[in-house]
Structure formats: C-alpha cells, structure tokens
Structure 1
C-alpha cells in the first residue's frame, strides 16, 4: 500500500487560516480560499501618504506580548519577523473635561484629580476590584454570572463602571460598553489576570516593525500556488465517501477530504449545508458587532490635555456613547511630527480633510449562549470532515486565531516547528497515512 496526501481546503486567509495551511503545506494538498482580494484578515497594514511621506500603519492587529501570545512569538521567531517594543497605556476622557491616563503623570492630567473625591474614589474601587477578583480567582469561587451581575452583587459604583472597567473592556474587545456587561465574568477576570491587568508588573508589549503585513508576507511566500482570492463560496455540502464538496458562485465545485472553516462563525453557518445541522446549531448563537475604523490625523478625537494621551484612549460623548482612539505614533513608533490615529466608532467622525481611510471590521461578542456554542463546536471538530477555527473560538485575539488554526491543522497531520501552546487537542485524523488504491 502507498499513502495518499489528504486534500484539504482552508476557507479564510486570516491568521488562523494562513497558519493552518502553512502547518499543512508539507503533509497535505492544501488550498486556501479567500473571499476578499487581500490576504491577512485583521492583520491589515495600509500605507498612508502623509504630506508626501509614505508611512505604514496597522489598522487591525497591532501588538502582542510573549507571555500571552506564545504561538505568535514562536511563529515570528521561525519566520524571522522583526519586532519592536511598544506600550499599552490607557486613558479616559469625558465631555466635562474629566481625564486620566494610566501613566503615572497622566493619572493627574487634570490637577484637580489630586483632590477630586470622584477620582480618588475611582482609584480606590480599581484596587478593590483587582483585589476581590484575584482572590475569587485563586479560590475558584467566581460565580457563573455576567459581569453586570458580579458588579451588582459586590456593590461597585456606576462611576467605576463608566470611568474605568467598561471603557477598558470596550477598548480591549472592540465592543460597545453595553455588550461588555453581558460578558461572562469568569472569562473577563481570567483574561485580566492572564494579561496582568490587575497587577503593577505587566508584560512588555511588542509590535511588528513595518506593520503586520510583514509576517503575512512571510507566511504566504511559503504557500505560493496554494492561495486563491476572490472566491465566493455558495455552499459546502457532504459528498460521496465521506468527502466534502465546495460549490462557488458560478457553479464551480471541488471535492476535499476535509474543510477548515477559518472564517467568522456567521459566515461559516451561511455556507454550511443544512445536512451539517449540529454544526449550524452550535454556530448560531455566536454573534459579531460591526465596527467602523477611521484612520486619520484629527486631534479632536484625542483627550483634550496632551498629558492625558495614551496608546488607547476612550472618549465619552455628551450622549454617553464612547469611542476608542488608538495613538498609532506611540503604538508603532511613528514620528510624532506626523500624528496618526485609528478611531473605532466615533460619535462624530473625523474631519474629511484629515481622514486617510475608513474600514469595516466585525468583532465577536461574548455571552453565556455563545460560550455554549463554542464548547459544542470543540466537541464537533472533525465530524463529517468539518473543522472550524478563528479568534472568535477563543478570546477574540490574534493568538486565539493562530492557536485554534494550529489545533485543527495538527489534528489533520500538520506540523509546527516550535512547541505549540494548545488549549484543545483534537484526535488525529491521520489522513496523510490513509490507504490509497493500489497502483
């Protein structure tokens, strides 16, 4: 008997799909099918013409740290991706002029903060929340409730919620504040603890020199001839012999041994034939929020006081809506004489003559129903030849996208040239050693 390489389709060319295909390139006949004309997903670098100078700026994935992104760290090292240190400072500004920044000096950006009972009370509640959350985490006593219920049960004020915790969560998960209240508190606290957000000593954050497209270029260089863009898939359905058929717009049909859906959950559900009813049922409660990102140079979308500027800036409008502005000069070490910002969902868009581009992103939302759906999908991995992966299957961040892609690819016989950090190990398909018809 001779072995036959598996035919595997990866649908989606974000970090999850590209890394999975890269892992499978030597053990399977793998092809990546991407709907857009661009590869990389949220790893998206654009070139800004800034008064005649070309400046690369990331508008999606921006930074990582070695503690919480072990697979990304391993992949960057293997690919020879050059990185530089950055910081993750945080600021809040409201229409009354109340502003503070997580930098030591920025805490008192408004001198009144030194004696303001509201601000001093906020600091006190931050300390109380961090202490309580870490105590509950260590004792294993965090209840299975929403963040709102946890805050209510422990008497945290509205000022603490709107002045710190909800803006912080909205900035981290690119989610409206009201959506943060539904977040399962156990996952919320675990994330804060993992990222040392409840401690004084925090990990060093890094960003890719030249933009995240540099790692995408290296991944795709190893996948030459296996990448297809502009592929609009109409349906994915069962075929004979346990295979899977992918039908594109226009009628083109191809059959594969396995299909990895490395796209958003709602997109995966739309493509899957009703025959995959268990997968569709598990995908249904996983929702996404639409976010509009503006790349611009409008200073009005930053805190009023320059001393309160941070890497991440949450601005609350008069209508109590919030937006987040990322100071790209600080995050990506861009010269400060060329102010560059990325603002998500501004209440008032930046001035058109100060705007370089407008971009749309979808980010996952988290609640009890979606958590149950994710758990069901983990149990369904590989059934009927279907796998799923993506940042949304984890905590929504780049590492989760990479990790879930690798978990699926390793189950299908892929290889990784570093010790992968996995949370879920799926039974091996050993497709690469299945028997073939005798020659």
Structure 2
C-alpha cells in the first residue's frame, strides 16, 4: 500500500518505521525538522558543543517497553539518570527537595514547621489511601473533589501533589485539580509513584533524545518531507487525496499522527464521529525557554533537583517548572543549562539560548470520553489516528498508539 503519515513526532516516526517494512510510506512534517517534542539543541559554550534536550527527556524500561524496543531496533544507547523533584513556593518561601531526608529538610526551619510535617503525613496517607479509588470504576470525582472530601491539607495539595502533576503534564494547577482522580491515581500507580521504594530507574538517551531520530532518518526506507504542512485531506473511494504546498497527491491510506485538533482542521470531509471525538480534546500551550539563568532554581542549592516547580498563586493559570539539564543529562558544563516552562518574566533574556512553544493535551472528563472512542474513527475511510493524546500523553503512549495503527493497517492488508 501507498501510505501517507502526517506528523513527524514519536507517533509518526514509530508508524513510519514499522509500516515501511511492508508498505511505501511518505512522512509529512510541517516543521523543518522531525521529532516533534523530541527536540535536542546543539549549544556551543567555552569551545565545546553540548547536546541539550528541551522536549522529551526521560523514560524508563518498565513503563516504556515499546519505546525501549524501538531504541534497541535503532541501536540507540541510553544511560541512567536522577529523577529528583523540588518545590519552591514564592509566597511562603518554602522550598524542599524530595530526594532524601537531608535535602527534604535542606531548609532547616522546616524541622520545626508543623505544616511541613502535615505535608509529609499527607504524602504517606495519600500513597496508602488513594489506590482504593481504582476499585471504584464508576467514580467520577475530580482531583480537587477527592482531596477536599478526604481533608488533605493545603500544603500537601499546593506544595506537593499539584506541583508534581504540573511537572508531569505541563498543565496549570487549575486544570489539574479538575482532572479525574482515577486518571491521576492510575498513572501514579502504574509508574510506581505511590511507593517510597522500588521505583523504576529513569534513563536519558545518550547524546540527546534526537539520536533516535537521527538513526531513524538513516535507516528509513520511505520518503521524508520537511516543511510540508498538509493543508487538506479528502477521502475518495479506495483512497485519500492529500494537498501539500498546493499540490495534490493520492494515497491508499493516511495516518494522522499529529495532534487531534490539527488532524480535525485538515480533514475536509470530517465525519460526525471524527468531529466529536477529535474536537473534545483540548490543548494547553506552553512557552519553553532553554537558558542559563540559574536564579529560576530554588534559592538553596541543596534544593536543586531534576524537576523544579515554582509555586505562586498569581501563576495558577500556567505551569511554571524548570528542568535542570546538567543533572538530567549529566552535563559537566561550565554553566547551568535550564529548561523552563512559562517563566519568561523570571528568566534573564540575555541568558536565553532557545525558545519554543509546545502544546500538551488537557486531561479532563471530555478527553477521557474521547479516548474511549478510538476504534470508532481509526480505520474508517482509509484514515487512521495515532498520537500520545490517546493515552497519558507521554512517549510510550505515542508509540503504543502507533503500533495499534500498524496492526490495524497490516491486518487489513493481509
């Protein structure tokens, strides 16, 4: 079959890699690079070039089995990293690093702070109590409703749980409180985050995440079209017509591996099901800056972690988190490389190296309902859908959804 794939992120790359083993595949990407949220930058400082990731950064073998298999097939190496987490509350001055007891109490006054001990007790209680929600399949509570019902403290909510969720999903605190609580707990349980021990070992791709993209490009047998935004898709009998840069091309099938809202916008003849499913998934835009301004990290260096969340009531409408790349990628650089989301007012513009805008799915009841309807639209009229938005929004979800599409297509082709 002659197949077009729209979107060169992890889902499009995975679909292209496996489909090209049996089919003639053309991959179309609107940007001048492929990779999507796999976005590695070459930064020259002090006579040396540093490969710094700004989008996809970490994975683990346990929760990312399909992505790990893809890396092995592409012969891409990875190494262990530290996944630590810190919070700095701008209004109260509270800051801590949850790595170990010494760093947890790096702000020594917390040794005699009753609110801090209340937070710790609530963390332990939440880890023990929250899995019970998974036994209630019909529970429709939001995170906010659940926390209120079980009388969790404000310090636990606003200085621990919500900042952690913010760092995971790049979403503002207001939307995370509206997330279905079963969704949050299922994710945390799946990733062994509800245990103080036996957590999976996190890893980073050696040389930067785009190493797997580079290996894919070298080995891919199909065609890659950069700077080729698909303008329109029209379904016809036994095929599809794709318009790119004003030119029409015909294919036997098409895989939409872009964001759901982008997919809907280019379907010239979208069905009712496509419109209702794809249209019910919202996105949160995030402004990313790669910079060397360490002032955005906690004021106490002992509190610096891999993921550093900045909490302020004035910033509830956006996620403000900074990733310390020297720690995550083990960069022994003469400067601190920091990736910050939505922190432009705190970052010295003279120290900014790269700026990007990323979009992340918003996880609410509408999104959950839409995710259940993948089979209603994928495989209809020679059109297939994949993307991380069909799962928790992470790399493994993108790979898994692409494999589902590959199975659909190859099953029909047999």
User: 1:155, 1:324 → 2: CA distance?
Assistant: 27
| Alignment match, 1:199 | 195
1:271 maps to 2:266: yes
What's the C-alpha RMSD, in Å, of the aligned pairs? 1.5
Q: Which segment is superposed worse, 88-97 or 55-64?
A: 88-97
| Alignment match, 1:158 | 154
Q: CA deviation at 1:141?
A: 6.1
| Alignment match, 2:179 | 183
Q: CA deviation at 1:67?
A: 0.7
| Alignment match, 1:260 | 255
| Alignment match, 2:169 | 173
| Alignment match, 1:12 | 7
> Cα gap change, 1:84/1:275 in structure 2, threshold over 3 Å: closer, same or farther?
closer
| Alignment match, 1:394 | 391
What is the aligned counterpart of 1:128 among 125, 129, 150? 125
- Paired residues of 2:133 and 2:185 also in contact (CA < 8 A): no
> Cα gap change, 1:52/1:318 in structure 2, threshold over 3 Å: closer, same or farther?
farther
> Cα gap change, 1:156/1:73 in structure 2, threshold over 3 Å: closer, same or farther?
same
Q: CA deviation at 1:242?
A: 2.7
Q: CA deviation at 1:65?
A: 0.5
What SS class does the counterpart of residue 372 from structure 2 fall into?
helix
Q: How many residues align?
A: 409
User: 1:266, 1:320 → 2: CA distance?
Assistant: 26
> Cα gap change, 1:403/1:141 in structure 2, threshold over 3 Å: closer, same or farther?
closer
User: 2:151, 2:313 → 1: CA distance?
Assistant: 26
Q: CA deviation at 1:275?
A: 4.3
- Paired residues of 1:298 and 1:351 also in contact (CA < 8 A): yes
What is the aligned counterpart of 2:53 among 52, 58, 64? 58
User: 2:118, 2:35 → 1: CA distance?
Assistant: 44
Q: CA deviation at 1:269?
A: 0.5
User: 1:141, 1:385 → 2: CA distance?
Assistant: 34
What is the aligned counterpart of 1:325 among 312, 317, 322? 322
Deviations 1:412-433 (A, max 9, x none): 12xxxxxxxxxxxxxx21x2x4
| Alignment match, 1:21 | 16
Unaligned 5+ residue runs, structure 1? Answer: 1-5, 414-427, 434-439
Matches within 5 A, 1:202-351: 202-239=199-236, 241-250=237-246, 252-317=247-312, 319-321=314-316, 323-335=320-332, 337-346=334-343, 348-351=345-348
> Cα gap change, 1:318/1:337 in structure 2, threshold over 3 Å: closer, same or farther?
farther
User: 2:270, 2:347 → 1: CA distance?
Assistant: 47
What is the aligned counterpart of 1:358 among 332, 340, 355? 355
Unaligned 5+ residue runs, structure 2? Answer: none
Give the alignment's TM-score, normalised by structure 2.
Answer: 0.95
- Paired residues of 2:28 and 2:224 also in contact (CA < 8 A): yes
| Alignment match, 1:113 | 110
- Paired residues of 1:323 and 1:347 also in contact (CA < 8 A): no
Give the alignment's TM-score, normalised by structure 1.
Answer: 0.90
| Alignment match, 1:144 | 140
Q: CA deviation at 1:224?
A: 4.7
User: 1:302, 1:336 → 2: CA distance?
Assistant: 17
User: 2:228, 2:346 → 1: CA distance?
Assistant: 33
User: 1:331, 1:373 → 2: CA distance?
Assistant: 34
> Cα gap change, 1:242/1:275 in structure 2, threshold over 3 Å: closer, same or farther?
farther
